[in-house]
Amino acid sequence: MSIQWTKKEAVHLLSRAGFGASQADVAASVSLGREETVGRLIAGVPFVEGAQAPLAFDQFKTDGAKALDPQQIADQQLYWLYRMVATPAPLIEKMTLFWHGHFATANYKVKDAALMAQQNELFRKYALGNFKELVNAIGQDPAMMIWLDANKNKKGKPNENYAREAMELFTLGIGHYTETDVKEAARAFTGWTYNKETHEVAFNAKQHDGDIKTLLGESGKLDAVDAVDILFHQKALPVFMATKLLNFFATDTPSESWVQKVAADFAAKPTVGDVLRELFLADEFYDEKLRLALIKTPADYVAGTLRMTGVAPAKGHAQAMRRMGQELFVPPDVAGWRGGQAWLTSNNLLARFQFAEGIAKSIGSAKLTSADWKPQAPVQAAAWVQLWAERLGIATLSEKTQASLSSYANDSLVHSKKMNTTGLRGLLQLVLISPEAQMK
C-alpha cells in the first residue's frame, strides 16, 4: 500500500532534497502530489509561480552593497550560500554540494577562487546528469588538476594521486583495485596539463605513455577515456555510488537490499536524476524511522534557516558555517567532510547556537509581530510552538521539546503583560537550537 502524501512527507522530501521546507513550498508540494513534486525537483522547476532565479555573481551585493570579487574565496563562499538560499531549483544546488564533497577539492592548495567557482559550475552543470560524463570532465578540470598534481603525471614519471582517488573516492571504493591498478591508471592519465599563465588545459602527446597497460584486467594502449570506461565496467561502481547517495539523502545505514536496488538503477539509468527520481518515489524513503534521522550539515542548517526566516545571506553566515565544521570550497582533505556525528561536536554545536542567537537578533520586530508569525490562537502556548516550528521547516517536535518550548511561550508570550520582541526572539532562538532543528 502506498504511503499517504501529507505535510510530513513533503517536509521530509524537501528537507532532504533541498535546503529547508518553507510553508509555501510545503503547501504547493502537498497540492501537487508526490510524483509531480519529485518531477519538479528533478527538472529544476519551481513549486511556486513567479519564483526568481538567483542573481548572477556580478549582480549580487550584500554587506553594505559592496560588489563581490571573484578572486576572493570569502566572496565565492558567500555567493554559493546565497544560491542555496535563493534557488528555486533546490535539488540541483543540493547535488552541487554533494559533488563538491564527492570530488573534494580545497582552495588551500588550488589557491585560485575563480577556479574553485569554475569547478562549482561544472558540478552544477552535471548535478543530475550523466555520471560518466562528469567523471571524464573532472579529470580535465583545472582546480582538480592542481589539487591532485596532474602536471606532475608524465610519461616515465607517473604521479599516482589522481589515479588513486579516481578509484578509491570517485568510483569504486577501497578494496576494489590493487596497487598495480593505481600505477597502470596513472600511466593512462598521463599527458594532460594545465597552464596557470594561460589558464588552458591541453593534452601533450609527448608526455603521454602510449605503451600497453593492464587496468582491472583489461589491456591496451589505454588513455584517460579508456581508463574511465574500464572503471565503469566494474560491478563495484554502482554499488559504491548507490551507497553514497543513500547515505546523503536517506539513511546512514541503508539495508543491503535497498543498496542493491539503487545500484541497479544507477547501472541502468542514464542520469543521476533518473536514479534519484526512483529513490524519492520509493515508499522506503518515507519510512517513519528515517524522519529526522540525519544530522543537518552546516549548509543545511545555515541555508535552511536563512531561507525559512527571510534573512539575507551575509559573509558572517558563511563564516558561521566554517565554525560549524563545513567551510565551502575548503573540505578538510581528499575524502571531504566526514559528516554524521562529526557535525555535533561541542565546538560545532556552540557555533550553531551562536548562529541561532544572531538570527533571532537580526530579524526586525515588524516581522516577528506580523500576522504571519502569530498563531490563530495566541492564548495557547502550543499554538505558538507549532506555528514557529512549521515556519522553520520542522514537521514534528518530540513531547519533551514541545513541553519545553510551550513552557517558555506560556511564560514569555501568553501570560506576558505586553507582547515584546524579546520574548519572540527568545522563542525563535529556542526553536532553532532544539534537537529537531539539527535534524532532517
What's the pLDDT band for 178 if we cut at 50, 70, 90? Answer: very high
31: how many CB neighbours lie within 10 A of its CB? Answer: 12
Q: For a pLDDT cut of 70, what percent of the chain falls above it? A: 99
pTM: 0.97
Average pLDDT score, the chain:
96
- CA trace torsion 402, 406, 407, 409 (10° rounding): 150
138-162 pLDDT tens trace: 999 999 999 999 999 999 999 999 9
Indicate if the pLDDT at residue 166 is higher than 60: yes
Cα-trace Rg, the chain? 24
Query: Residue 382: exposed, middle, or buried by beta-carbon count in 10 A (0-12, 13-18, 19+)?
Result: middle
Burial 232-267 (b: 16+ CB within 10 A, else e): eebebbbbbbbbbbbbbbbbeebeeebbebbbebbe
The answer, yes or no, to whether residue 175 has pLDDT greater than 80, is yes
Residue 199: how many CB atoms within 10 A of its CB? Answer: 12
Q: 31: alpha, beta or left, given left = phi > 0 and alpha = psi -120 to 50? A: alpha
pLDDT score recorded for residue 64: 66
- Burial degree of 104 (CB within 10 A; 0-12, 13-18, 19+): buried
Which segments of 87-223 does DSSP mark as H helices, in order? 90-102, 107-110, 113-125, 131-138, 142-147, 161-168, 179-188
Q: Which is it for the CA torsion 320, 323, 326, 328, positive or negative?
A: positive
Q: Which residue has the cell 529537531?
A: 436
Query: How much is the pLDDT for 1?
Result: 52
pLDDT of 50: 86
Query: 3-state DSSP call for residue 314?
Result: coil
For position 368, what pLDDT does the model report? 93
Share of the chain above pLDDT 90, in %: 95
Note the pLDDT tens digit of each residue in 396-438: 999 999 999 999 999 999 987 667 899 999 999 999 999 999 9
User: What is the pLDDT, as a whole number, of residue 437?
Assistant: 98
Type of residue at 126: Y
Q: How far apart are CA 98 and CA 164, in angstroms?
A: 20
Task: Please report which confidence band the pLDDT of residue 302 belongs to, taking 50, 70 and 90 as the band edges.
Answer: very high
pLDDT at 71: 97
- For residues 7 and 30, is the Cβ–Cβ distance under 8 A? yes
